[in-house]
């Protein structure tokens, strides 16, 4: 980190232990992501009346290259708890930011779409035709929703493809309302 964290404590007596806890959490952030350029932490006692105890609020403003990450946590009776919760949320946001910077954004997996073309209910198996025209075997235990007995020839399904003993097969078969293109 280029700058020391700026810690502001408002509306209640300054505590060295609280400042130390904040500095420890900021140091942990710096170990995870070393390009942090500024960190401002403000903890204050809420001015609202509460039936028991005093409430504390925390705002953390973290500056990183090209962005600013802000977290607010409101109204907890223990300042250490509100600080912990705020820094936990900030760590998650910083982790997502760092992942995006590295180009490691989660990819959405496309689920294959098919339709039931053969069904042998008495034997407990059938075949799904994929959108590219292949036939994949599936059995009663691989059907998740609806149950096997509810499937009909022409039912649209999603599935996962795995290599079985006799070639590729459909597993985790789930009925869907999507339209399946006919090959």
Burial of 101 (0-12, 13-18, 19+ CB in 10 A): middle
Residue 56 belongs to a domain with what CATH number? 3.30.160.100
Give residue 164's pLDDT: 83
Q: Does some domain include residue 183? A: no
146 lies in which domain range?
113-175
Count how many domains the chain has: 2
Q: Does some domain include residue 143? A: yes
pLDDT tens digits for 49-60? 656 668 889 999
Same domain (yes/no): 97, 170: no
Give residue 12's pLDDT: 82
pTM score of the predicted model? 0.55
Same domain (yes/no): 97, 156: no
Are the C-beta atoms of 99 and 73 separated by less than 8 Å?
no
Residue 124 belongs to a domain with what CATH number? 2.40.50.140
Q: Are strands 143-145 and 167-175 parallel, antiparallel or unpaired?
A: parallel
Give residue 180's pLDDT: 65
Same domain (yes/no): 42, 127: no
Per-residue pLDDT of the chain (183 residues; tens, 9 = 90+): 456 889 888 888 888 999 999 999 998 888 888 888 899 999 988 766 656 668 889 999 999 888 899 998 877 888 889 999 999 999 989 988 888 888 776 665 667 889 999 999 899 999 999 988 999 999 998 888 778 888 889 989 999 888 888 889 998 899 887 766 665
Looking at 75, 101, 127, which one is the last position of a domain? 101
Looking at 48, 81, 101, which one is the last position of a domain? 101
Give residue 110's pLDDT: 66
Q: Does some domain include residue 16? A: yes
Q: Does some domain include residue 106? A: no
């Amino acid at each position: 980190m280029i700058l020391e964290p700026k810690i502001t404590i408002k509306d209640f007596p300054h505590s060295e232990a609280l400042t130390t806890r904040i500095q420890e959490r900021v140091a942990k952030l710096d170990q995870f992501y070393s390009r942090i350029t500024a960190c401002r932490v403000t903890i204050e006692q809420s001015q609202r009346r509460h039936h028991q105890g005093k409430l504390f609020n925390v705002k953390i403003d973290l500056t990183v290259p090209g962005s600013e990450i802000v977290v607010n946590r409101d109204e907890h009776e223990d300042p250490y708890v509100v600080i912990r919760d705020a820094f936990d949320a900030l760590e998650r946001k910083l982790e997502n930011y760092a992942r995006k910077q590295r180009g490691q954004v989660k990819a959405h997996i496309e689920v294959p779409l098919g339709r039931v073309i053969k069904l042998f209910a008495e034997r407990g198996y059938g075949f799904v035709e994929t959108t590219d025209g292949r036939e994949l075997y599936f059995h009663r235990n691989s059907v998740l929703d609806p149950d096997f007995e509810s499937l009909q020839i022409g039912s649209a399904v999603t599935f996962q493809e795995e290599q079985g003993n006799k070639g590729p097969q459909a597993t985790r078969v789930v009925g869907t309302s999507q339209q399946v293109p006919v090959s």
